[in-house]
């Protein structure tokens, strides 16, 4: 089986497809670093949509989403954006945990796995 890598750099690929699955790297809000969680979440979900499209799939085929937020006090604000975005007919399995992220400017990170 072929392994396809998308938006690859020296450290990682932003997405990898193999065996009918697409795995995204954890995405952060590079353009909106330091912004509120709703703004960061919206940017990240747009990036995930783009990566999935590049790999030949979309959010209706999501299997799993993992979310890390730096403060659970932001959980409801993040969910407001996520809930407006997620395909209600095909919701993925999901986990959300509080974690220290790579920079204080990043307050949410999201990774996804989708079927092709």
Summarised one tens digit per residue, pLDDT across range 39-87 is 999 999 999 999 999 999 999 999 999 999 999 999 999 999 999 999 9
C-alpha dist (Å) from residue 103 to 30, 56, 70, 83: 11, 31, 10, 25
Contact yes or no for 80/42 (Cβ under 8 A): no
**Residue 91's pLDDT is what?**
98
Confidence band of 12 (pLDDT split at 50, 70, 90): very high
CA 16 to chain centre: 13
Whether the pTM exceeds 0.85: the reply is yes
Q: List, in sequence order, the alpha helices (H) in the chain.
A: 37-54, 75-85
Asked if residue 6 has pLDDT above 90, the reply is: yes
Using an 8 Å Cβ cutoff, are 60 and 89 in contact? Answer: yes
Instruction: Give the DSSP letter of residue 27.
Output: B
- Number of domains forming the structure of the chain: 1
Domain that holds residue 92: 4-115
Supply the CATH number for residue 110's domain.
3.30.1330.40
* Structure token digits, residue 30: 């590079």
Average pLDDT estimate for 16-26: 98
pLDDT at 1: 79
């Amino acid at each position: 089986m072929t392994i396809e890598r998308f938006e690859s750099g020296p450290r990682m690929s932003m997405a990898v497809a193999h065996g009918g699955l697409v795995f995204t790297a954890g995405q952060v809000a590079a353009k909106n670093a330091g912004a509120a969680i709703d703004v960061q979440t919206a940017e990240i979900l747009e990036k995930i949509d783009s990566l999935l499209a590049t790999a030949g799939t979309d959010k209706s085929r999501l299997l799993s989403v993992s979310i890390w937020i730096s403060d659970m006090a932001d959980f409801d604000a993040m969910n407001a954006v996520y809930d407006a975005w997620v395909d209600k007919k095909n919701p993925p399995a999901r986990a959300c945990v509080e974690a220290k992220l790579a920079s204080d400017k990043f307050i949410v990170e999201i990774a996804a796995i989708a079927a092709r």
